[in-house]
Structure 1
Amino acid sequence: MPLNEKVIIVEGMTDKRRILDIVNEPVDIICTNGTIGVTKLDELVDQFYDKEVYIFVDADESGEKLRKLLKRELPHAKHLYIHREYREVATAPKKHLSAVLLQANIKVKGKYLL
């Protein structure tokens, strides 16, 4: 059960670690590990109905497929997008990720501010 008001859903552990290194406020980061089953998805929907949910997935085919599924199941979620040239959250420059997070009103560590 998420403890914080803000929840970021990502694809993998590398994405999670990268974002945790940037974020400067309490957030829960949930990994889908690229795919998500119906049972797990139902659990997420139930847990997140009163949370600020952010979807932050890769700019590739599997990321877009997951985004489409999550958009349908979590219509109140806000969608965060990395620039297509970076393709993956895990490898995108931290300054770019921090700019995306800041635009969503998620606090980031000072060293990543542009």
Structure 2
Amino acid sequence: MEKEDKVIIVEGRTDKQQISKIIAEDVEIICTNGTIGIDRLEQLILDHDLDHKDVYILVDEDYSGHKLRKQLSFELPHADHIYIDRAYREVAATPAQELAAVLLSKRISIHPIFLS
């Protein structure tokens, strides 16, 4: 089985569900379920071979999201950051068309239905 070269790291399951319906390519979406400890993060990097993949970080625009982004940035300096508008605060609360636009800006294929 061929592994995906692109990985998006999100906080929760609802974030993953929201993004999964928009993306039109084979991208692995990993949930951290909030901030994580260094041991679990290192295991995540090893389990998913994140040092050798295109990693995107897409987290909420709140305190825990900023804390997780900082933590992931330190461990995965090659990761590309995707930001949502602060007005929506949460990835899951961001309208699909907005998410589609930010994903497309990072050259991630999306289903055309989400283009406005």
Question: One fold, TM greater than 0.5?
Answer: yes
Aligned-residue CA RMSD in angstroms? 1.2
TM-score after normalising by structure 2: 0.94
* Count of residues in Structure 1 that have an aligned counterpart in Structure 2: 113
Equivalent residue, structure 2, for 1:69: 71
Equivalent residue, structure 1, for 2:20: 20
TM-score after normalising by structure 1: 0.95
How much has 1:71 moved relative to structure 2?
Answer: 0.4
Equivalent residue, structure 2, for 1:57: 59
What do the CA deviations read for 1:22-47 (whole angstroms, capped 9, x no partner)? 00000000000012122221123332
- Which stretch shows the higher mean deviation, 69-78 or 42-51? 42-51
**Aligned counterparts of 2:24 and 2:63: Cα–Cα separation in 1:** 30
Q: Runs of 5+ in structure 1 lacking a partner? A: none
**Aligned-partner residue type, residue 7 of structure 2:** V
Q: Runs of 5+ in structure 2 lacking a partner? A: none
**Aligned counterparts of 2:16 and 2:3: Cα–Cα separation in 1:** 16
* The one of 89, 106, 115 aligned to 1:113: 115
Q: Percent identity?
A: 54
Equivalent residue, structure 2, for 1:92: 94
How much has 1:3 moved relative to structure 2?
Answer: 2.3
**Aligned counterparts of 1:36 and 1:83: Cα–Cα separation in 2:** 24
